[in-house]
Chains A and B, each alone.
Chain A
Amino acid sequence: NAGVTQTPKFRVLKTGQSMTLLCAQDMNHEYMYWYRQDPGMGLRLIHYSVGEGTTAKGEVPDGYNVSRLKKQNFLLGLESAAPSQTSVYFCASRTFSANEQFFGPGTRLTVL
């Protein structure tokens, strides 16, 4: 039982490049979330999903897109990366009936 995994762990992009971050969970959780963590700002919700095929915007969705084609996977896309998107990205998941979210180890992204 691996829990929540994220790929890649680190990435450096140039401004304007695109990339996709992958989150996978093996706990059969319905809900999945993408957060970004910036110094002094805690974690802020980018997008979330309440089930396969559904996504919704969070607090800071601009510049990001997401997809949940399979229940176990939640993809976060950056179509045209900007330096302001330099951050640590965390994925989390939880089951419908519980309130605790389980977090992945994070992806450190630098945009030059």
Chain B
Amino acid sequence: AQSVTQLDSQVPVFEEAPVELRCNYSSSVSVYLFWYVQYPNQGLQLLLKYLSGSTLVKGINGFEAEFNKSQTSFHLRKPSVHISDTAEYFCAVSGLIQGAQKLVFGQGTRLTINP
């Protein structure tokens, strides 16, 4: 079975500081990995995805993530955050489950940017 663990439920940082949101996954098969962002009272928006190729993936709004197969991790980073980055972030793994492609989500990490 596939599962995703987001190691921090809340991450407070100051504006312009760097941030890392941690994500570990477990899967017995090849997977695709995603980070979604949810701004307050909105739906989920794709930040970035890893399907294959380069392990460093760049996404929107200056975010990037690195796929590490040996450590089964897909941590999300941004070198300098802005107030507008305040949101909840979800890591997800996509794989073939019972014959259909499905997404399994982590519990979410609430990122709060303080001025």
Contacts and interface: CB of A to CB of B under 8 A. Distances in A.
Dominant secondary structure at the B interface:
strand
Which of B9, B42, B45, B103 has most A Cβ within 10 Å?
A: B103
Interface string A29-56: 0010101000011111100101000001
B2 to A, nearest CB: 11
B100 A41 contact: no
Given A41-B107, A42-B108, A43-B90, A103 B44 contact: yes
Interface size bracket, B side: 20 to 34
Dominant secondary structure at the A interface:
strand
Nearest to B100: A50
Given A42-B90, A48-B100, A106-B43, A99 B32 contact: yes
B100 to A, nearest CB: 6
A112 B36 CA distance: 31
A90 B43 contact: yes
Nearest to A108: B41
A105 B45 CA distance: 10
9 contacts: A35-B105, A40-B9, A40-B107, A42-B90, A42-B108, A90-B43, A90-B44, A101-B103, A103-B43
